[in-house]
């Protein structure tokens, strides 16, 4: 819809290598619009960025190699598939993704948000850096209940408040709502 209404001119889809051709097929099938896969040697990739359609697909490894080219291409919208790749805010992948500053951002992940609040914080930080406290400060801001050894319920206090605060940022499907 953003491309069709000319709200954005350039969209970047970042996904695992194995999913690039599936993204291409599904994009074409649902939108009827051209989508280019970034691949090849550095000269070929440079040519793709210079003559690209409105939508590019690349894998996370190429994002690390081509960050300067991607910054120059300046996508206005980005989709991160398997976004758990940025759940650790200290990794190179997470830091490189977060250097990009598109106006529109979408992350897709199958990783449950209950795993670790710091992981959720790293994902949300890229979507809206004001939606949660900084990832590095979450341990000190949220208190743990119980001792994790079966004495009391282990977990983070205030999850209901956190869920309510993030409701406008998440479309969440529980396992029970998935395909059977």
DSSP per residue, 24-68: HHHHHHHH----EEP-SSHHHHHHHHHT--SEEEEEHHHHHHSHH
Q: Which residues contact 139 (CB under 8 A, 6 or more apart)?
A: 118
What is the predicted pLDDT for the residue at 168? 74
Q: Which residues contact 1 (CB under 8 A, 6 or more apart)?
A: 7
Residues 61-67, mean pLDDT to the nearest whole number:
97
Binned at pLDDT 50, 70 and 90, residue 113 comes out as low
Query: Each residue of 30-51: pLDDT tens digit?
Result: 988 889 999 999 999 999 999 8
Half-sphere exposure for 6 (CA within 13 Å, toward CB): 0
- How much is the pTM? 0.81
């Amino acid at each position: 819809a953003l491309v069709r209404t000319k709200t954005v001119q350039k969209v970047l889809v970042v996904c695992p290598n194995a999913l690039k051709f599936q993204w291409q097929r599904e994009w074409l099938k649902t939108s009827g619009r051209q989508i280019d896969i970034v691949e090849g040697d550095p000269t070929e990739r440079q040519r793709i960025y210079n003559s690209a359609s409105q939508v590019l697909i690349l894998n996370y490894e190429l994002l690390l190699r081509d960050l300067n080219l991607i910054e120059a291409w300046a996508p206005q919208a980005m989709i991160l598939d398997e976004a758990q790749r940025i759940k650790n805010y200290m990794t190179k992948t997470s830091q490189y993704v977060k250097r990009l500053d598109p106006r529109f951002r979408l992350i897709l992940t199958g990783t449950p948000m209950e795993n670790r609040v710091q992981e959720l914080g790293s994902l949300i930080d890229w979507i809206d850096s004001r939606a949660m406290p900084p990832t590095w400060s979450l341990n000190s801001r949220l208190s743990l209940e119980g001792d994790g050894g079966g004495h009391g319920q282990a977990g983070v206090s205030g999850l209901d408040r956190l869920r309510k605060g993030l409701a406008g940022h998440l479309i969440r499907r529980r396992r029970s709502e998935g395909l059977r």
